[in-house]
Chains A and B, each alone.
Chain A
Amino acid sequence: MIDPIIKVTGLTKIYNHTVLAVDHISFEVNRGEIFGLLGPNGAGKSTTIGMLNTLLKPTEGTAQIDGIDVVKEPSKVRRIIGVVPQEYTADEDLTGWENVMLIADFYGIPHDVSRQRARELLEMVGLLEASKRKVETYSGGMRRRLELAMGLINKPKVLFLDEPTLGLDVQTRTAIWEHIKKLKSQYNMTILVTTHYLEEADEFCDRIAIIDKGKIIKADTPENLKKSIGGDIITIQLATDGKEVDQVLKGIEGVFDIKNNGDGLLTLKVNDGGSVAPTIIKTFTQMNLNVARLTLARPTMDEVYMAYTGRNLREEQASSEETFAMRRTLRRARS
Chain B
Amino acid sequence: MKHVFLVLLLLCAPPVFSVEPDEILDDPVLEQRARDISANVRCVVCQNEPIDSSNASIARDMRILIRERLVAGDSDAAVYSFLVDRYGTYVLFKPPFQGATIGLWIGPFVILALGSIGAYVAFRRHTVVPTKLSDQEEAKISDLLDDT
Chains A and B bind each other: no
Question: Hey, which bits of chain A sit against chain B, CB under 8 A?
Answer: none
Question: Hey, which bits of chain B sit against chain A, CB under 8 A?
Answer: none
